[in-house]
Structure 1
Amino acid sequence: MMNFRILFFALTLIFLLSIIGCSVINDTNKIADNNSKVTDVSNKEDFGGSSESPTLKPPSLTVYVGEKIVRPSLGTYSWSVDNGDGTASGIEAGSSTPPELVKDSNPMQATANTNIELDFEVQPESYTVRIWGDDNNVVNSSVEFFLSGKGKIVYEVLAHWEQGTASYAFSLDVE
């Protein structure tokens, strides 16, 4: 009976200490857009320092379709930032394919000669525009944006920065 009490006390003590020990970790787990799954997070300890934390999300993208604005869905991304103290924080978020991300959105109307402009919050080092087919496969990839085909077309913009990469998805109804 005495051994049971000692074992119970020891297990309770270990449990409480592990909960207290984990409470000083700055939790950077954030749910990514579009029900994405976070697969890697930072465990930077926070002992009451600066409340400013680096942004663990890629810059936003705005797409201008003629005079109208499209806000693409943020898809899969990998992003890391230097904390300024010799450490880095990073996140990797996975998502569905671009056609799945935009399947419930209403595509904006466009014609073959509509002017399309990609406006990044921070200009990437490079980007690629992909066109996705009905069978969830990439049918075209280019470093320039162009309208092709007719009907609902799903576009993915895959952008690269020094801090990482990000995928953005949107659809247009091309007449």
Structure 2
Amino acid sequence: MRYFVISIFLISVFLSGCSTPPSSPQKAVDTKTSQRIKPPEIQLALSDDALLYSEHGAYNWTERNGDTEESVSVEADTPTVIGARMDAVELKPEEKVAIKFDSDSVPELEVFVHLEDGNTEEVALEGNTIVLPSDIGRYIYEVNGEWPEGTASYIFVVEIK
């Protein structure tokens, strides 16, 4: 009888432990803080001054005000997942895209292109400008910026026609 009670107890502990749903990752620590504390918005300008649409990727940002400091960390899907749900902007081969921000600060930049075959390549920067590929296709770009206040990524998608 004692073994029966112990068996029932162990089975109930096992089942209750296995039935607990996994916790989902938190997208932002505090919604109000994450809406107020954000990295600069990116401006992706073409040669005719038209702007390309982009979406934020993940970012970590800290704002200091005197002795106080507030930080926010926002997770995001991978650039390929974000790019897959974005509409591509049709552009000409080898068009130039200037990367600017709505603040006076100048971040250290890295740009990557996520190719249709699943490969990722670093894109050469000429100042804060990139040159789009000459080959026809859909390209997901990831711009990573690093400022003294934190880091941020931005995603945009082009289709070379």
TM-score, length basis structure 1: 0.64
1:57 — aligned with what? Answer: 38
Determine which of 119, 136, 152 is the counterpart of 1:150.
136
Matched, 1:93 2:74: yes
Alignment of 1:18-37 (within 5 A): 37=27
The aligned residue for residue 134 of structure 1 is: 116
The separation in 2 between residues aligned to 1:75 and 1:41, in whole angstroms, is 17
Shift of 1:55: 4.2
TM-score between both structures, scaled by the size of structure 2: 0.69
Does structure 2 retain, via aligned residues, the 8 Å contact 1:41–1:89? Answer: no
Q: Give, in whole Å, the separation in 1 of the partners of 2:157 and 2:62.
A: 28
Residues 95 and 115 of structure 1, relative CA distance in 2, 3 Å threshold:
same
The C-alpha deviation readout for 1:62-100, integer Å capped at 9, x for no partner, is 11233322121001000001122x121000111011121
Indicate the percent of aligned positions where both proteins have the same amino acid: 23
1:168 paired with 2:140, answer: no
How far has the Cα of 1:41 moved from its partner? 5.1
Contact 2:96–2:132 (8 Å) recurs in 1: no
**1:87-135 per-position Cα deviation (integer Å, ceiling 9, x unaligned):** 2100011101112112222211111232311121124331111111235
Number of positions where the alignment pairs a residue of Structure 1 with one of Structure 2:
128
Q: Deviations over 1:134-170 (max 9, x none)?
A: 3555223434412123211110110111100100000
Extract unaligned runs of 5+ from structure 1.
1-35, 45-53
* Structure with greater contact order relative to length (CA < 8 Å, sep ≥ 6): 2
Query: Structure 1 pair 141/116, CA: closer, same or farther in 2 (3 Å)?
Result: closer
Is the CA contact (8 Å cut-off) linking 2:45 and 2:99 kept in structure 1?
Answer: yes
Aligned to 2:5: none
Alpha-carbon distance in 2 for matches of 1:135, 1:150 = 13
Aligned to 1:77: 59
Could you give the per-residue CA deviations for residues 30-85 of structure 1, whole angstroms, max 9, x where no partner exists? xxxxxx811x459x9xxxxxxxxx9410000111233322121001000001122x
Q: CA RMSD, aligned part only? A: 2.5
